[in-house]
Amino acid sequence: MDDNMTSSSPHAVGDIDDAAEECPVKERCQEQREALPGEPRCAICGRYGEYICDETDDDICSKECKSTLLARLASTQKPALDHSHPVKLPVSDECFYVRDDNRPNSESTDQIESLRSKIGICIKGNSVPAPILSFSSCNLPQKLEQNLESAGYLIPTPVQMQTIPAALIKRNMLVSADTGSGKTASFLVPIVSHCSNIRLQHLAEQKGPLAMVLAPTREICVQVEEQAKVLGKGLPFKTALVIGGDAMAGQVYRIQKGVELIVGTPGRLIDLLTKHDINLNEVSVLVLDEVDSMLQKGFRDQVMQIFQALSQPQVLMFSATISEEVEKMASSMARDLIHVICGKPSRPSKSVKQVVIWVESKQKKQKLFEILMSKQHFKPPIVLFVGSRLGADLLAEAITVVTGLKALSIHGEKSMKDRRDSLRLFLTGEISVLVSTGVLGRGVDLLKVRQVIVFDMPSSMAEYVHQVGRASRMGEEGVAIVFVNEEDRKLFRELVQYLKSSGAAVPRELANSRYSVGPFPLSSRQKRKYGY
């Protein structure tokens, strides 16, 4: 289970080690501390970059360095933002389609349906716009199109083809699509477009935030904000990251100076909103990333509290795993909801080969070491998913001692700095094994990872789907090695179904287990009887 979701205390959810003190923004450079490895650095002096200079989006340590930076910019007469490319402004919020060359001549319902079926998209809902085949089809600001191109996004992925045009015309949406299929840009492209158009046309009365993205873990928030910055570069589009473990003063300062997008975990955001006067009147888009976990007990109340503080925003909800219950809750939050289903969500990505091995608990470590020391089977960098924080720490140590491989652990009890450092060292290739609890199970883009080991089965098949999904991005092939034994029996029936439907081998012990067959689902009495 994601260890960010186990506690019922409001601050524990998503913000478990929220030890950040509230300290005022520094006036002078010398008052600021040195930056630790991996921390943001001031663009002028290199000290800890506590907040970001709105005019340039650079990390800055103090008001003093901010003045220096702005003075430097003024003296070179370079505008802080690159407006050299005129931005195409839509005359209204409508999305205007330019016919693509390979698009059917007349877009009859049948042709649109046929296009959807070709790209593997299913729709529930009324008057859903046709999918786009290129980013240039929907009148995005020119700078955003350039940013997409620079990021290597040459054509939209199937989920983006359908969701971007629908989001641009302000439809509420629930989107289920495979892990690694490009859901993040599906909501960020419309958000960047919407926010920058509002600013460029001076449509908002105040400078308050215009959009909000909520996600269950800090790591997801960090990545979403990073991607938002990439897409919004050079546009009047600024972001604030509101997560535990980072100084709140900088977050508040930045929001009060004026940002377009807030990305945050619900616990920290509520904390910030209750302590500070932040005007949310202009927030017109709310995204719930990993919506199934956001609407689970523990998060749901906080999410609803934030939702109710907004004035009827457009709601965009995304996950690779959406149950009927989540669908019902989503429909009750947003009127006239479109449900976009892309590929075969709620199942492990077909690009990941699942290799399930029956291993008794006592033998798990030995088996793991064998894999890690086998040239044939160990394909670094790999992420290992375990069930507890202590387990993560101990296993990372044991791996280093026994195999000599560089391994680190990451979980919700570690400081934000440690979590950032471990992830950075892993993504830059300095360590080859990262042992994680559920904190990296969902939503985090672990670009080079093509192998995961599910050392301890998670508590639900939804989490399993997300963990296995870390081994593949954008359809590239990956492998998930999964350890199971009788302790995981409550998942056997579903696991066997999932394995069979993806053509994976089912170990004999699993296939023959009495927990793998029988009526489905069990009543609550049966569950108690079998100790589920």
Ligand X SMILES: Nc1ncnc2c1ncn2[C@@H]1O[C@H](COP(=O)(O)OP(=O)(O)OP(=O)(O)O)[C@@H](O)[C@H]1O
Measure the CA–CA gap between 268 and 502, rounded to whole angstroms.
Answer: 39
C-beta of 435 vs 468, nearer to ligand X: 468
Give the shortest CB-266-to-ligand X separation in angstroms. 18
Phi, psi of 356 (to 5 degrees): -95, 130
Q: Which two tokens stand for residue 32?
A: 């600021």
Give the shortest CB-28-to-ligand X separation in angstroms. 39
How far, in Å, are 250, 383, 501 from residue 322 at the CA level? 35, 24, 18
Place of tokens 């795993």: 321
C-beta of 131 vs 443, nearer to ligand X: 443
Measure the CA–CA gap between 136 and 127, rounded to whole angstroms.
Answer: 22
Q: Which two tokens stand for residue 261?
A: 């997008």
Give the shortest CB-392-to-ligand X separation in angstroms. 20
Which 322-381 residues touch ligand X, going by CB under 6 A?
Answer: none
Cis, peptide link before residue 381, omega less than 30° from 0: yes
DSSP state of 389: H
How far, in Å, are 47, 62, 200, 291, 421 from residue 38 at the CA level? 12, 19, 35, 30, 6
Give the shortest CB-232-to-ligand X separation in angstroms. 15
Give the shortest CB-197-to-ligand X separation in angstroms. 21
Give the shortest CB-228-to-ligand X separation in angstroms. 12
Closest CA to 481 of 376, 348, 377: 377
C-beta of 137 vs 403, nearer to ligand X: 137
Three-class secondary structure assignment of 281-292: CCCCEEEEECHH
C-beta of 157 vs 197, nearer to ligand X: 157
Residue of 129, 131, 141, 156 that binds ligand X (CB under 6 A): 156
C-beta of 269 vs 322, nearer to ligand X: 322
Give the shortest CB-339-to-ligand X separation in angstroms. 16
Q: Which two tokens stand for residue 203?
A: 């449509």
Which 465-484 residues touch ligand X, going by CB under 6 A?
Answer: 469, 473-474
- Note whether 385 binds ligand X by CB under 6 A: no
Give the shortest CB-419-to-ligand X separation in angstroms. 17
Measure the CA–CA gap between 415 and 19, rounded to whole angstroms.
Answer: 8
CA quadruple 216, 497, 436, 446: dihedral, nearest 10: -70
**Kind and range of the H or E element at 329?**
helix 324-333
Phi, psi of 52 (to 5 degrees): -115, 135
Residue of 147, 157, 176, 467 that binds ligand X (CB under 6 A): 157
**Kind and range of the H or E element at 164?**
helix 158-168
C-beta of 150 vs 363, nearer to ligand X: 150
Q: Taking contact as CB under 6 A, which single stretch among the options 13-21, 46-54, 373-381, 443-451 is the one that binds ligand X? A: 443-451
The angle subtended at Cα 57 by Cα 420 and Cα 265, nearest 5°, is: 45
Asked if 456 and 416 touch (Cβ cutoff 8 Å), the reply is no
Measure the CA–CA gap between 257 and 274, rounded to whole angstroms.
Answer: 18
Q: Which two tokens stand for residue 417?
A: 């700095």
First and final CA of the chain: distance in angstroms?
15
Closest CA to 432 of 420, 450, 419, 412: 450
The pairing of strands 51-53 and 58-60 is antiparallel
Q: Looking at this protein, which amino acid is placed at residue 406?
A: K
Q: Looking at this protein, which amino acid is placed at residue 2?
A: D
Give the shortest CB-150-to-ligand X separation in angstroms. 12
C-beta of 103 vs 183, nearer to ligand X: 183
**Kind and range of the H or E element at 356?**
strand 352-358
- Note whether 131 binds ligand X by CB under 6 A: no
- Note whether 443 binds ligand X by CB under 6 A: yes
Residues 281-320: x where in contact with ligand X by CB under 6 A, - otherwise, as a string: ---------------------------------------x
Q: Taking contact as CB under 6 A, which single stretch among the options 441-449, 482-490, 501-509, 524-532 is the one that binds ligand X? A: 441-449
C-beta of 104 vs 475, nearer to ligand X: 475
Residues 182-211: x where in contact with ligand X by CB under 6 A, - otherwise, as a string: xxxx--------------------------
Residues 245-274: x where in contact with ligand X by CB under 6 A, - otherwise, as a string: ------------------------------
Give the shortest CB-220-to-ligand X separation in angstroms. 7
C-beta of 186 vs 409, nearer to ligand X: 186
Q: Taking contact as CB under 6 A, which single stretch among the options 149-157, 373-381, 424-432, 451-459 is the one that binds ligand X? A: 149-157
Residue of 37, 86, 152, 521 that binds ligand X (CB under 6 A): 152
Q: Which two tokens stand for residue 22?
A: 């509230």
C-beta of 267 vs 443, nearer to ligand X: 443
Which 158-187 residues touch ligand X, going by CB under 6 A?
Answer: 160, 177, 179-185
- Chain-centre distance of CA 64, in angstroms? 35
Q: Looking at this protein, which amino acid is placed at residue 449?
A: V
**Kind and range of the H or E element at 171?**
none
Give the shortest CB-184-to-ligand X separation in angstroms. 3
C-beta of 203 vs 474, nearer to ligand X: 474
Residue of 48, 51, 153, 378 that binds ligand X (CB under 6 A): 153
C-beta of 37 vs 152, nearer to ligand X: 152
C-beta of 177 vs 368, nearer to ligand X: 177
C-beta of 86 vs 152, nearer to ligand X: 152
Q: Summarize as ranges the residues that interact with ligand X (CB under 6 A).
A: 152-153, 156-157, 160, 177, 179-185, 320, 443, 445, 447, 469, 473-474
